[in-house]
Structure 1
């Protein structure tokens, strides 16, 4: 269990950032679901609930998701259920239970860059920007490669286009973390394949994505792209599966999700 010596509920982002950067062990508190599993000693815990960041809305061609929106909000929101084949709603609906998803926030999930995150894998195959209070806007893939810096994730911005996408997560049991998760999307014949829970952080299979985008989507080319994805990425071993098992599973799931996106297109 973590320890908090003091609490702050700022009314403005400027105030929240000032408190955050004042001391090394000051920390933003989201839903605290995973923080509860740690033994971290926090100087000042910063609660962002007064900043009205729990929104999901359209804004000038983007779907904008506030940092304090809960995973359950992603699951049930009508706008997200209809966008991109419902990939964001699908990516969170199997995470532990409803009570848990009501507590976990989007901002904490993305900013923490958890290796097991289903949501990050889905977001990577969409045109997603991260907006930070101090660091400004940047593509999600760039944010994931940056070193950790003290900042506040304000919102996500996802371009609302005609991208078709599909997501799958393989679990040993309904309440467990994923052994592997896969997301695939297509926009104007440009394909993106992302793999997460390797058990490392979600990444895009760049070579496989390019190969699929340049092909004619024959059965052989789809099979080849799935194999390329499995070969180009690194996989690790933990209690949920071996590296070899994850690699074999990756090829099967990538092929399956490519076919699912193609089925969506044909409909």
Structure 2
């Protein structure tokens, strides 16, 4: 359970940023879905719903997604269904249920860097950048690998190219959190293999990606790259699965992802 002393709906991002940094307990609200799972006392809760950050905008060279965009919007947006073989809608559609996806926001999920995030796994397989109000624009990889002062994620950008992509996940049940997630993509014969919910945060398997990119994509090459992904990444245990189990199923999901990308138009 969480408690809130005050709620603010700022008129500008700068106002929201100033209030956020005025006290350590001040917090930006997203959909609040995951706040409900913990215990937190919030001084001032900052609601960004009046800042027009709920949108998906297709531009000539990129797709821009506002921070307050919900997972349900990602799931149903026609542009995202067409781009990258619909990898983003496919990644978010298994999550809990429609009511849940109607409140969970892109900005809160990406900024929080959740280890179980289906969305982060898919976004890492694409050419994604994030924008912070004060920190500016940077690649998603850079954002995930560094710590930043308290800031507000305003939007994400995905380069609109011909990258082919696939998303795979394993769950104990269709509405449960994932045991393991995998996203695979290819552009100009350069492959990218991403594994998430390890239960650590999603990470690119760089050695496996490079090996696959340099291979002839034979059945043996694909099997070796899938096995290499499991070897180079670390895995942990939680109530959904052991580290050993995750490591064992990783090559299976990676191989499925590669084979699906090869079938994409």
TM interval, shorter chain, is: over 0.9
Distance in structure 2 (CA, Å) of the matches to 1:83 and 1:19? 37
Write out per-residue CA displacement over residues 1-32 of structure 1, whole angstroms, 9 at most, x where no aligned residue. 10111110001001010110111110000000
| 2:49 pairs with 1:65 | no
User: Secondary structure at 1:65's aligned position in 2?
Assistant: strand
Distance in structure 1 (CA, Å) of the matches to 2:4 and 2:252? 45
Matches within 5 A, 1:185-224: 185-224=185-224
- Hey, what does 2:92 align to over in structure 1? 92
Distance in structure 2 (CA, Å) of the matches to 1:132 and 1:147? 12
Matches within 5 A, 1:115-126: 115-126=115-126
Distance in structure 1 (CA, Å) of the matches to 2:131 and 2:21? 18
* Aligned length in residues: 265
- Hey, what does 2:229 align to over in structure 1? 229
Distance in structure 2 (CA, Å) of the matches to 1:200 and 1:87? 21
Distance in structure 2 (CA, Å) of the matches to 1:26 and 1:145? 24
Offset at residue 185 of structure 1 (A): 0.1
- Hey, what does 2:22 align to over in structure 1? 22
Offset at residue 189 of structure 1 (A): 0.3
Distance in structure 1 (CA, Å) of the matches to 2:238 and 2:18? 39
Distance in structure 2 (CA, Å) of the matches to 1:39 and 1:238? 20
| 2:7 pairs with 1:7 | yes
Cα RMSD over matched residues? Answer: 0.7
Q: Which runs of 5+ in 1 are unaligned?
A: none
- Hey, what does 1:136 align to over in structure 2? 136
User: Secondary structure at 2:178's aligned position in 1?
Assistant: coil
Q: Which runs of 5+ in 2 are unaligned?
A: none
Distance in structure 1 (CA, Å) of the matches to 2:224 and 2:60? 39
- Hey, what does 2:174 align to over in structure 1? 174
Matches within 5 A, 1:244-259: 244-259=244-259
Distance in structure 2 (CA, Å) of the matches to 1:240 and 1:173? 11
| 2:101 pairs with 1:101 | yes
| 2:156 pairs with 1:152 | no
Distance in structure 2 (CA, Å) of the matches to 1:37 and 1:202? 21
Distance in structure 1 (CA, Å) of the matches to 2:59 and 2:14? 23
Offset at residue 148 of structure 1 (A): 4.8
Write out per-residue CA displacement over residues 156-186 of structure 1, whole angstroms, 9 at most, x where no aligned residue. 0000000000001100001210000000000
Distance in structure 2 (CA, Å) of the matches to 1:232 and 1:72? 34
Offset at residue 147 of structure 1 (A): 1.6
Distance in structure 2 (CA, Å) of the matches to 1:149 and 1:4? 23
User: Secondary structure at 1:161's aligned position in 2?
Assistant: coil
Distance in structure 2 (CA, Å) of the matches to 1:170 and 1:34? 21
Offset at residue 60 of structure 1 (A): 3.6
State TM-score, norm by structure 2: 0.99
